[in-house]
């Protein structure tokens, strides 16, 4: 019991003697240690605090860095030194607790006028960057619209070419069938004419006086039977000629389309040879002078422009221009006689 009373007395005594210095130290702190920042004349004063540092030097460094962080948060700046804002240490206050740890308060002075100028400059840069970003978005939308329009035209041309080829195939099949019918009709006409000729010879009389009426009658019958067959033959021949002309016209139009596409392909193959590493997207667009399909790889922050074309044989190809994260050309694929790849870091 006596031991317990002695320990209780000892604890109360220590608390009594330690409470006084703590209160005294708190009352000795300058008024600015309770502030984060405040104005004094034309200067902005910012307070940085470093709690429980092992040494005073370490505490002063931490307090200085914390004061700069307070200033960056207040001014909405990412790097005050890079923006040309110079801060000076106006005052430092240090406290040492009973266990030897140091708490440092550091007061930095910053010219308010200079800070306002830097903020205005940063806001102007932000505004210009926003305008540039909006312009880039509009340009990208225009390129995408041009690509979609170009893709739709290519799809329409491919559809027309396919329809032309299908029509040519159907016409060829129809011509083949009609040629067979024409041959059959021609064979029938020849057989009929041979039959009529044989009948005329068999029915020819010996007497000249009776032969003339019989021959006139047979000749009339022969003409009456041969004329419908000859008329059918002529009609079939006219239809075949018309369909052949139509087929020739469709084939000519298809060849013209393929020639136009082949001319575009040859132009792209020549232009792509002038693309070199380090070019911007705008410079590539000026060289190629054709809308391209845009592809973006988000993980690698790279992109590419693809130019599609079709030659006179109907074969398609792709010329791909790759861009690095900084929007400069770093690769070229599909260009005849020239290609390069992005280099590994």
| 286-344 pLDDT per residue, tens | 998 888 899 888 888 889 999 998 887 878 889 999 999 889 999 999 999 888 987 66
- What values do phi and psi take at 40, rounded to 5? -140, 105
Q: Tell me whether residue 326 is in a domain.
A: no
State both tokens at 13.
Answer: 């005594």
Residues paired with residue 293 on neighbouring β-strands, in sequence order = 306
pLDDT at residue 205 tops 70: no
Sorted by sequence, the CB contacts under 8 Å of residue 72 that are 6+ apart come out as 78, 79, 80
CATH number at residue 161: 1.10.287
CA pair distance 259, 327, nearest whole angstrom: 35
Residue 227 lies in a domain: yes
Total domains in the fold of the chain: 1
Per the structure, the complete domain to which residue 252 belongs is given by 148-261
- Per-residue pLDDT, 95: 92
pLDDT at position 105: 95
Question: Does residue 34 lie in a domain region?
Answer: no
- Residue 127: the pLDDT is 86
Q: Which helix (H) or strand (E) segment is 179 a member of?
A: helix 112-202
pLDDT at res. 207: 44
Return the pLDDT at 134. Answer: 87
Phi/psi class of residue 124: alpha, beta or left (left: φ > 0; alpha: ψ in -120 to 50)? Answer: alpha
Residue 82 DSSP class: T
Please determine, for residue 214, whether its predicted confidence score (pLDDT) is greater than 70: no
- Percent of the chain at pLDDT exceeding 90: 21
Pairwise CA distance, residues 247 & 243, whole Å: 6
| pLDDT number for residue 150 | 86
Q: Would you say the C-alpha torsion 129, 132, 138, 142 has a positive or negative sign? A: negative
CA–CA separation, 30 and 92 (whole Å): 10
Cα 323 from Cα 296, distance rounded (Å): 9
pLDDT of 42 reads 86
Measured CA angle at 110 (ends 104, 114), to 5 deg: 160
Q: Rounded to whole angstroms, how far apart are CA atoms 110 and 42? A: 9
345 pLDDT exceeds 70?
no
Of 314, 276, 315, 281, nearest to 296 by C-alpha is 281
Average pLDDT, the chain: 79
In a domain, 63, yes or no: no
Q: Residue 90 domain-assigned? A: no
CA nearest 293: which of 172, 127, 147? 147
Report the pLDDT value the prediction gives residue 7, as an integer from 0 to 100: 39
The pTM (predicted TM-score) of the whole model is 0.33
Residue 73 lies in a domain: no
Question: For residue 28, is it within any domain?
Answer: no
256 inside domain: yes
Q: How distant is the alpha carbon of residue 344 from its chain centre?
A: 23
Q: List phi, psi (to 5°) of 43.
A: -115, 145
Per-residue pLDDT tens over the stretch 14-61: 333 333 333 335 558 899 998 888 888 888 899 999 999 999 999 999
């Amino acid at each position: 019991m006596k031991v317990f009373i002695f320990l209780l007395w000892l604890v109360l005594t220590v608390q009594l003697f330690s409470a006084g210095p703590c209160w005294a130290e708190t009352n000795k702190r300058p008024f600015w240690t309770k502030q984060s920042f405040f104005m004094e004349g034309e200067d902005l004063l910012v307070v940085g605090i470093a709690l429980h540092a092992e040494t005073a030097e370490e505490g002063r460094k931490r307090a200085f860095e914390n004061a700069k962080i307070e200033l960056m948060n207040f001014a909405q700046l990412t790097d005050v030194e890079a923006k040309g804002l110079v801060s000076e240490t106006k005052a430092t206050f240090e406290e040492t607790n009973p266990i030897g740890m140091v708490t440092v308060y550091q007061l930095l002075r910053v010219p308010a006028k200079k800070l306002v100028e830097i903020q205005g400059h940063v806001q102007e840069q932000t505004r210009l960057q926003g305008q540039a970003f909006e312009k880039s978005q509009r340009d990208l939308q225009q390129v995408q619209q041009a690509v979609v329009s170009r893709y739709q035209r290519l799809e329409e041309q491919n559809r027309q070419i396919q329809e032309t080829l299908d029509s040519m195939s159907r016409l060829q099949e129809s011509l083949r069938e009609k040629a067979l019918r024409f041959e059959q009709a021609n064979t029938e006409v020849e057989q009929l004419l041979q039959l009529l000729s044989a009948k005329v010879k068999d029915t020819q009389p010996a007497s000249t006086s009776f032969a003339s009426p019989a021959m006139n009658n047979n000749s009339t019958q022969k003409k009456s039977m041969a004329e419908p067959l000859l008329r059918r033959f002529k009609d079939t021949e006219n239809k075949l000629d018309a369909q052949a002309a139509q087929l020739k016209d469709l084939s000519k139009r298809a060849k013209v389309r393929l020639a136009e596409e082949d001319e575009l392909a040859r132009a792209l193959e020549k232009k792509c040879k002038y693309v070199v590493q380090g070019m911007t997207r705008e410079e590539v667009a000026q060289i190629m002078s054709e809308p391209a399909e845009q592809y973006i790889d988000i993980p690698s922050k790279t992109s590419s422009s693809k130019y599609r074309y079709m030659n006179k044989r109907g074969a398609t190809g792709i010329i791909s221009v790759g861009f690095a994260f900084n929007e400069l050309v770093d690769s070229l694929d599909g260009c005849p006689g020239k290609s390069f790849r992005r280099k590994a870091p």
